[in-house]
Structure 1
């Protein structure tokens, strides 16, 4: 890599327990010799960190999360940049965006871009945004002000909750954009004439952190009250994860089945879900574990019998891409049941390496869960097939290599 190529990676927040796929990508880029500086729009809110976060060497720089909290920092940035031509070049696109989206959020992104360029951490010569919504807005404005090119990684919520006009503009201004599911890839390609600048790149998994499970999952079949089947799910307690649907499905399981459900993760709906579990008569069978680090999550995959995730399209259009937790669970031969939403069918094929049911259908989900609870042989077959596919097709080294090639192609053109 050319020694003067330093990438500033713009992130919504860092570090975040729910974004291990970003952290492992950052570490992969560093290990390949790329020098990074991380710029986050908000400070961490999680109480824990994954081990991968401690291995990333890049400095972390935080922009003002809200402009009114650091007004003098924003004002200094504006006064420093107003004499420069880049400021006035960026003002036109910003005002055009503000006309279509007259919101405080839009003003905030321009102010954050001013601070980013004025302080310019790490003397970076390239900008890369993770998420095509707010981080890409900041990155796009900063790119114009500084005269530095930018690229983007788009994921799920950021695609499906953004207006098409805004996505089109960003796709046209970025040198290239990668996204992690075929559904997202096809949608983004439909919004730009420069289709060759949109690339499909599955996140994959750092299989060194999820090594082959040498043990065996249990032969529990739900018949023993003293040894219930263990069902686990990992995910934020937010609408798109469908945990209300999953709880309703669990309440529909036959009374003769003995099971226990563990939920790992935090989120805005945690209290509501706890109340729902109580209303459904499930409180004694459900355990809310909260946010756990990757080591503890791995142990839960190995100790459990079934992984369940009831993905859905939320009312605001938000949805998962391909949830990394399904890939993680599959890597440990843990059979998964999920829904045919977004990128999930790109990993799971019904009755081949998992079970798929329609979204928003507690009864169908309950039938699939019952089938897995009663049939340990089916669980073993699905889990074995799932692991083979993940280890053959979802190694994160391939996605990191694809990113490196994209960066190097751009830099070769400029040299």
Structure 2
């Protein structure tokens, strides 16, 4: 058997602007000689695409997003699998899961797995899920139905909002699982009783797309109303990004300090955040740019003075891993002000290559912002150090080499 196999990659949605790191990884694996087929649980909802999506050659197959929308497709899949022994084995496992998680979402994942198993891509020999929650559920059930091995890339929300029993079951059946932060790695390791099938893999940055910033940023210090310091943030307007905390921190800055805040991204909380900016009296200093393509985001990194992201742990446990936007901003020598949540301290060390404060603390965040606004020399020192860290430790090619090695090691073991 050949050491090269066609990998069926299961994704929640594709393509998505907020998941550039996944597209970057897919392209990297293709360039490393891997043959991929993409299977998405949702069709795209973003109005724009990143250039990287157009470079990926793998075909995309969409499963029914909701089972009731395509009943004949689901019904044909069910009837086709009823005669197979693997169906009844998988049904018992699904029923046990459903007793612990009696939700429509769980039923949907089983139905999607039946459709994928029936509409199986020609010559597919391996399953890989991106995200350990719903995509991994579909992948696990499909693996059981077809008797094929599977692996998984876990990230952030999928780890911290999943039940431990569900993650443990997936860890016990997957050949291996990678994750992109030390905190996520340690948590998964604890659920797997220290199992050796869990690996830490920073997905990093495609540094060919984020080349060295050769320009010189102005030495703005917030003293001129005609030349304010520009603070940028990129991220969806959702709870875990902490934009309400960031706006409250801006409102605490001295009245004579001149700054402007620019936000890039969509998100369900945008209208509420705009209303908050109005109530805090800072709306005239805030620009809401909406979702932008990657090349436009890069241009904003290069013309801004500070990058800010007030990461927090949301009420449901959701949190960022290591936000890719922090790595992107740092690659452009842009000083980053952020919080000590999850994987952020794995990139940024306070006063060495960034400013890191406790989450949920607008006063501490305001003090860090004020310091960065007033001291252009500090911004340059920290920004230069941040770029060195990214280029030394967060090149995505290292992750691609690691993933390729993990796949090939399993394939070689199967043929031994």
Equivalent residue, structure 1, for 2:101:
101
* Distance in 2 of aligned mates of 1:273 and 1:194: 42
Equivalent residue, structure 1, for 2:48:
48
Matches within 5 A, 1:350-365: 350-365=350-365
* Distance in 1 of aligned mates of 2:374 and 2:294: 29
- Tell me the TM-score normalised to structure 2 length: 0.99
* Distance in 1 of aligned mates of 2:258 and 2:379: 16
String of CA shifts for 1:283-329, please: whole Å, max 9, x gaps.
11000000001100000000000000000000000000000000000
String of CA shifts for 1:332-372, please: whole Å, max 9, x gaps.
00000000000000000000000000000001000000000
Equivalent residue, structure 1, for 2:128:
128
Q: How far is the alpha carbon of 1:122 from its aligned partner?
A: 3.8
* Distance in 2 of aligned mates of 1:375 and 1:40: 47
SS state at 1:11 partner: strand
Q: Are 1:214 and 2:247 an aligned pair?
A: no
SS state at 1:190 partner: helix
**2:4–2:408 Cα contact (<8 Å) kept:** no
Equivalent residue, structure 1, for 2:66:
66
Check 1:61–1:390 CA distance in 2 against 1; reply closer, same or farther (3 A cut): same
* Distance in 1 of aligned mates of 2:352 and 2:246: 22
Q: How far is the alpha carbon of 1:392 from its aligned partner?
A: 0.4
Equivalent residue, structure 2, for 1:390:
390
Equivalent residue, structure 2, for 1:150:
150
**2:4–2:34 Cα contact (<8 Å) kept:** no
* Distance in 2 of aligned mates of 1:310 and 1:4: 43
* Distance in 1 of aligned mates of 2:107 and 2:91: 11
Taking only aligned residues, the RMSD between alpha carbons, in angstroms, comes to 0.9
* Distance in 2 of aligned mates of 1:122 and 1:320: 36
Equivalent residue, structure 2, for 1:84:
84
**1:37–1:122 Cα contact (<8 Å) kept:** no
Unpaired segments ≥5 residues, structure 1: none
Unpaired segments ≥5 residues, structure 2: none
Q: Are 1:259 and 2:231 an aligned pair?
A: no
String of CA shifts for 1:1-41, please: whole Å, max 9, x gaps.
93761000000000000001100000000001110000000
**2:7–2:37 Cα contact (<8 Å) kept:** yes
Matches within 5 A, 1:5-404: 5-193=5-193, 195-404=195-404
String of CA shifts for 1:145-197, please: whole Å, max 9, x gaps.
00110000000000000010001000000000000000000000000135210
String of CA shifts for 1:240-281, please: whole Å, max 9, x gaps.
000000000000000011000000000010111111111111
Q: How far is the alpha carbon of 1:64 from its aligned partner?
A: 0.4
* Distance in 2 of aligned mates of 1:202 and 1:93: 32
* Distance in 1 of aligned mates of 2:167 and 2:212: 40
Count of matched residue pairs: 415
* Distance in 2 of aligned mates of 1:103 and 1:190: 27
String of CA shifts for 1:197-238, please: whole Å, max 9, x gaps.
000000100000000011012211001101100000000000
* Distance in 2 of aligned mates of 1:394 and 1:292: 23
* Distance in 1 of aligned mates of 2:290 and 2:267: 9
* Distance in 2 of aligned mates of 1:123 and 1:400: 23
* Distance in 2 of aligned mates of 1:193 and 1:380: 44
SS state at 2:49 partner: coil
* Distance in 1 of aligned mates of 2:214 and 2:37: 38
SS state at 1:36 partner: strand
SS state at 1:121 partner: coil
SS state at 1:102 partner: coil
**2:127–2:148 Cα contact (<8 Å) kept:** yes
**2:3–2:412 Cα contact (<8 Å) kept:** no
* Distance in 2 of aligned mates of 1:332 and 1:341: 22
